[in-house]
Structure 1
Amino acid sequence: MNRTATIALTALAPVSWGSTYAVTTEFLPPDRPLFTGLMRALPAGLALLAITRLLPTGAWWWKSAVLGALNIGVFFPLLFLSAYRLPGGMAAVVGSLGPLFVAGFAALLLSERPTTRTLLTGIAAALGVSLVVLRATGSFDTIGVAAAVGSSLSMSAGVVLTKRWGRPAGVGPLALTGWQLAWGGLLMAPLALAVEGAPPALDGRAVAGYLYLAVANTAIAYWLWFRGIGTLSATQVTFLGPLSPLTAAVIGWVALGEALTPLQVVGMGVAFAATVAGQVTVRPRSTRTPSVAAPGAEVPAVPERSDLRVAP
């Protein structure tokens, strides 16, 4: 599959995540963010384990647990906490700083030096998202800001470590996704029970909502996400993240009757342009001086250099 198709498929993950807010508000019981996170992760993880019939071996027991905590088990609760404590859109703005956090982690763990273009594109993405989601009302507190930063750092570290560690031989992205979702769900289960109590009663509408979140929004979306991380650079993948708040804004406008101001439309354009720019890789110029072959001598072929990526 070519690179453009891989980017397009990976982009479906944040697009799907952008529907979470609408599904949660329209289909699910109110004030149950941890239970919702648990219902997204654990059933999807167990289903993928049953489908792949593969369990971690050796060091991958603790590696998959670490990735499951960073990408799911820690990320979900911190994200929900920040969304509840911060005014409209502030958590999404902090989350849009993910490309900058990934650039920092990639420099430390993947030896990928962040370029000026990457940093400027990351700032533009955060600016665009802020124009779309920020509201003038409300106030934010220290705990909410810390939770938002922590959730973004957790996901960013998970992306980079997923890239660094890759996958065990013979294990596909579907199995790796199942491991992480299962670990993340197991980590959230006692927290959800302690904070929110027993599970709420569910009607048919809620069951349909949770089924959508578990299958399309989580199992399939995270499979596409981790599959993309295995092929694209960590920075490329994380620059697809702003598509999530942009999708949420579009769904709110189309399906929920929420108005979009001209400033929000401008912000959407800026964030989308930054997302596209984040997918452009620059091929480094070769510093080798071509040699002149003697007449009649065979000139060895010089292989084309692909985009610089650090192997996991």
Structure 2
Amino acid sequence: MKPSIKGFFFLVGATFLWGVSGTVAKILFNHQVNPMHLVTIRLTLSFAVLLLYLAVWQPHLLKVKKSQLPYLAVLGTAGVGLVQFSYLFTISQTNVATAVFLQYLAPALVAVYAFLRQRESKSPVKLLALLLTAGGGYLIVSGVPGGGLAVNWPGLASGLVSAASLAFYTLYGKKGLATMNHWTMLLYCFGFGALVWNIFQPPWVAMVGHSLTEWYFFLYIAVFATVLPFGFYFCGLNCLTPVITSLTSTMEPVVAAVVAFLALGETLYPLQLVGCSMILIGVIAIQCVPEQEKLPDKQSVSQEG
């Protein structure tokens, strides 16, 4: 299988799992679970699950060079940890629609950086896909009657931070894949992210008072909404450029909307269906980019690593 095709299917798997996890998170929030506590539990459990798996099945992946630890600390805190905090803070200051829309400005930031600094080709197909996915995301989150975007200065600032940290995670993560296994990178990213969050939300506060059923949901989120999709995302990123990776990941709100419709009975309004269609067209279009534009230049990647 061609690397670009393999990367696309890895990203489809990641976006599907992330999209489903939104419904699971809604169930937990309906049980009055604090979103900040959920982030702490998510990162801590994800680190513990991946650490246990690697220790038993692939212990050689636990080892990293001391010189790589600063890079992993930055990626884990400024990438994994910051994107979680900024997204939830944006929701608290505005609403879910605004938070989702602002976070999905990340592909545009990735594209601008790649076009200007990494000299990635600015083909009409890429620009069209960028416009379609951005416009489709806007329609999905604002196409609900009575809904829409609600912006204040703190919410706008944190929403832009959320987009920037997601873009940073993609671009900076690409650099590490040249020298490290993606599971090793994830383990240490989860570890550093969990360390920071456990300082802000101590485990004796975040992890107490939950029912057994809620812990089943926490475990699901740790494995199927964190470890596996992030692993798939890195696998896709290893095969494709950051621009195509981030654009393909915009399928997540499409999956979330469809799953909410099927599982929770939420209504899909006409404008939301148009938005879903625009994103799917954009994602399909970006897969039509010529092969030489999809794969990163090996020499430049090795120099970055």
TM-score interval, smaller chain: 0.7 to 0.9
> Greater CA deviation, 65-74 or 23-32?
23-32
| Structure 2 equivalent of residue 83 of structure 1 | 91
Deviation at 1:308?
Answer: 5.2
**Deviation for aligned residue 1:233:** 0.8
- RMSD in angstroms over aligned alpha carbons? 2.4
Normalising by the residue count of structure 1, what TM-score does the alignment of the two structures yield?
Answer: 0.84
Determine the C-alpha separation between the residues in 2 that align with 1:190 and 1:103.
Answer: 34
Cα distance change on mapping 1:283 and 1:143 into 2, 3 Å: same
TM-score of the two chains, using structure 2 as the length reference: 0.86
Structure-1 residue corresponding to 2:132: 124
Q: Provide the residue aligned with 1:72 in structure 2.
A: 80
Task: Give the aligned residue type for 1:110.
Answer: Q
1:104-147 Cα offsets, whole Å, 9 max, x none, are 23245533254444233212211111111114447332111111
Contact 1:27 1:206 in 2 (8 A): yes
Out of 167, 171, 179, the position equivalent to 2:188 is 179
Instruction: Name structure 2 gaps, 5 residues minimum.
Output: none
* Contact 2:240–2:294 (Cα < 8 Å) also in 1: no
The answer on whether the counterparts of 2:51 and 2:187 sit within 8 Å (CA) in structure 1 is yes
Deviations 1:230-277 (A, max 9, x none): 121111110122211111111111111111112211111001111222
Structure 1 unaligned residues grouped into runs of 5+: 285-304
Identify the range of structure 1 (204-213 vs 113-122) with the bigger mean alpha-carbon deviation. 113-122
Q: How far has the Cα of 1:192 moved from its partner? A: 2.3
- Larger helix share, 1 or 2: 2
Partner-residue secondary structure (3-state), 1:242:
helix
Instruction: State the Cα distance separating 1:198 from its structure 2 match.
Output: 4.6
> Which residue of structure 2 aligns with residue 189 of structure 1?
198
Count of aligned residue pairs for this structure pair = 289
Give the Å deviation of 1:186. Answer: 1.1
Tell me the SS of whatever aligns to 1:258. Answer: coil
Larger Rg: 1
Cα distance between partner residues in 1 of 2:39 and 2:6: 29
Match of 1:311 among 291, 295, 301: 301
Structure 1: distance between partners of 2:122 and 2:176: 20
Deviation digits for residues 254-311 of structure 1 (CA, Å, limit 9, x no counterpart): 1111111122111110011112222332367xxxxxxxxxxxxxxxxxxxx9845342
Q: Kindly tell me: are residues 66 and 107 of structure 1, through their superposed partners in 2, closer, same or farther at Cα, counting changes over 3 Å?
A: farther
Q: Percent identity?
A: 21
Determine if the alignment matches structure 1 residue 163 to structure 2 residue 174: yes
With CA pairs under 8 Å and 6+ residues apart, which has the higher RCO, 1 or 2?
A: 2
What SS class does the counterpart of residue 239 from structure 1 fall into? helix
Aligned position for 1:14: 15
